[in-house]
Amino acid sequence: MSYKAVKGTRDFYPEQMEARRKVFDLLRENAIKYGFKEVESPAFESIKLLTAKSGDEIKSQIFVMEKRSNEEIGLRFDITVPLTRMFIEKQKEIPKPVKWFYISRMWRYEAPQKGRLREFYQFGVELFGSNKVQADAEVIALAIDNLVSLGLTEKDFTMMISNRDLIQGFLENIGVKKVGETLRVLDKRGKITEEEFEKELDFLPKDKIKKINKFLKCESVAEAAKQANDKGKEGAKELKQMLSILKSMGKEKYIKFSPEIARGLAYYTGTVFECFDKKGKFRAILGGGRYDKMVEQFGGQPCPATGFAMGDVVLELFLRDKKLWKDSSEGVDYYVAPVNADYIEKAIEIAQLLREKNSVDIDLMERKLGKQFSYADSIKAKKVVIIGDETKKGNVKIKDMASGKEEEVKISKLK
């Protein structure tokens, strides 16, 4: 009888866990530098909350619990909605802006594929209460700093930035009626060929598709703004201000105006962005934007918001590709080896002494010294403390595993 993990999930052994923890610690440190505070929400929420604003496509992606006593519950597939719920519960009392970050697990019911698993971690931030472009710039700068702190450079990734109002203002200007549907197709642009793209837009007349293709080729905000109505021009103005702030933050080299970034989800307003590897080998590394209507839609007082999220699956693939992610496990500082069973209790005492300041392993198998050394080696112990006759003089022998050197040390001097 053999049992397997559920497909699309991962087991984290120490090597994988430590590598991931190093990355998460760095992301946490960066978020704290930007004045964000860590939060966490429950793994599951009511189906009512989870599906309120995302439509049917999302529902099929939720791990739904068997219904018991009228409770309809599902695992969160995203944390923006749960955190919006949490924000609304304290909206009156909490000073604005509210800057939250999280490193949390999410679950999506889908067929596992490259860069997509059914269980994954997400790092992200939500910033509630500011409608200023400074707030958008703040979250984009943090997103960039995260990637740079992991060893990536402007040669590796591009932060592609656009503005929903600009895009919608353009679509309205050329008379597109099905704006939502068109945005969803626009969002796929990077993943499909021009032919497929035009086919997916077949609900539009040819001339409009032509105009869309022209718009998507705009290299400057000014050029794009010319093709939009007043709402779009307003979006363009905001975008320019934000790009200017990002420049004063020293982030210009990482960013690019990219009119094709529309973001599929219905809830985005204003600034939208996605980050891709320059070689185009992977899915988006992170994505985010402004969602000024969501708080209100979920029953709160009207309140602007912006944020981003970065999953660990694509991030790990990308960092591994760049040799910036390596499974590894730190060795213990000391392994304490009694020479025989007579010295077990003495060895335990010394291990406890050393544990005040060090990571210490000890023989738990009553093995011979040779086998103990093999084990110490396998767990990458830095030093082995040998507990034998020397203890009668108040001493132990310590072997440095890297140099192979051995010295006799007073027990009273150990720390």
Closest CB to its own copies among residues 366, 408: 366
Reported as type and span, the H/E element at residue 29 is helix 14-33
Reference 363, options 373, 354, 353, 355; nearest CA is: 373
CB-CB contact of 165 with 269 (8 Å): yes
Closest CB to its own copies among residues 30, 173: 30
Closest CB to its own copies among residues 37, 279: 37
Structure tokens at 235: 């979006």
Residues 6+ apart with CB under 8 A from 46: 71, 72, 73, 74
Q: How far apart are CA 140 and CA 288, in angstroms?
A: 8
Which phi-psi region, left, alpha or beta, contains residue 404 (left: φ > 0; alpha: ψ -120 to 50)? Answer: left
Q: How far is the CB of 264 from its own copies (least distance, A)?
A: 23
Q: How far apart are CA 286 and CA 123, in angstroms?
A: 9
Q: How far apart are CA 339 and CA 54, in angstroms?
A: 65
CB-CB contact of 129 with 303 (8 Å): yes
Q: How far is the CB of 270 from its own copies (least distance, A)?
A: 14
The full DSSP string for 372-405 is HHHHHHHTT-SEEEEESGGGGGTEEEEEETTT--
Q: How far is the CB of 103 from its own copies (least distance, A)?
A: 11
Place of tokens 């335990």: 348
Closest CB to its own copies among residues 72, 172: 72
Q: How far is the CB of 6 from its own copies (least distance, A)?
A: 6
Q: How far is the CB of 18 from its own copies (least distance, A)?
A: 7
- Report the largest interatomic distance among the alpha carbons of the chain, rounded to a whole angstrom: 94
Closest CB to its own copies among residues 156, 363: 363
Distances (CA, A) of 391 to 242, 344, 345, 382, 411: 69, 12, 12, 21, 8
Closest CB to its own copies among residues 89, 400: 89
Closest CB to its own copies among residues 232, 304: 304
Closest CB to its own copies among residues 100, 215: 100
Q: How far is the CB of 383 from its own copies (least distance, A)?
A: 13
Q: How far is the CB of 139 from its own copies (least distance, A)?
A: 10
* Rg value, the chain, Cα: 28
Q: How far is the CB of 296 from its own copies (least distance, A)?
A: 11
Cα–chain center distance at 272: 17
Closest CB to its own copies among residues 218, 362: 362
Cα–chain center distance at 365: 41
Q: How far is the CB of 243 from its own copies (least distance, A)?
A: 12
